[in-house]
Amino acid sequence: MSMAADDPIPPKEYTGLRPLPSLIFGSRWLQLPLYVGLIVAQGVYVVLFLKELWHLVLGAMRFTEQEIMLVVLGLIDVVMISNLLIMVIVGGYETFVSRLELEKHPDQPEWLSHVNASVLKIKLAMAIIGISSIHLLRTFIYAGSLGKEGNPFTETGVMWQAIIHTIFILSALGIAGVERLSQPTYRGKDH
């Protein structure tokens, strides 16, 4: 039977990978225990959050405003680290191991629809800056009593925290700049 000139060419069937490429590609599943371990770490952070929340509730009547603020900042810190874990677990698994096939799930995170290694790097950098900001804010609460007994921070320690935080910000800007430069830009019509 001959094919007419306008008949589509039948698609070539997938025949599988050769053994070495199959082994290399299959090695991505070695990351699965790492993501399961991060899920366990997420559970530990839930326990830590509940412990700190209980501590706040029990001490609400006797804590000073500053002590309450420090506990709340600790809770926010735990939540931000937990958010970072979710981004790494879900985004990393989706990017490097296998598709989660969440396209029709009503709770699919918006950012997951366009996640790739570049987007994940920038989101992680921003999360780290947020976490660093909480730690720096907690440190600044003690700034008025630097040098006094009982203060866990020194002037040098505060200075280094601020420098490290600034380096995190500059690193994130650098990552974003490199990612922007590496993206193709299209000028003109219909390229």
Q: 76-122: per-residue pLDDT in tens?
A: 999 989 988 988 898 888 888 888 877 777 887 777 766 677 777 88
pLDDT value at position 8?
62
5: left (phi over 0), alpha (psi -120 to 50) or beta: alpha
Residue 146 corresponds to which amino acid? L
**What is the domain partition of the chain in residue ranges?**
30-113, 116-181
Rounded to an integer, the average pLDDT of 16-29 is 86
The C-alpha atoms of residue 62 and residue 73 are separated, in whole angstroms, by 18
**pTM score, two decimals?**
0.70
**Model confidence at 186: pLDDT above 60:** no
- Grade residue 191 by pLDDT with cuts at 50, 70 and 90: very low
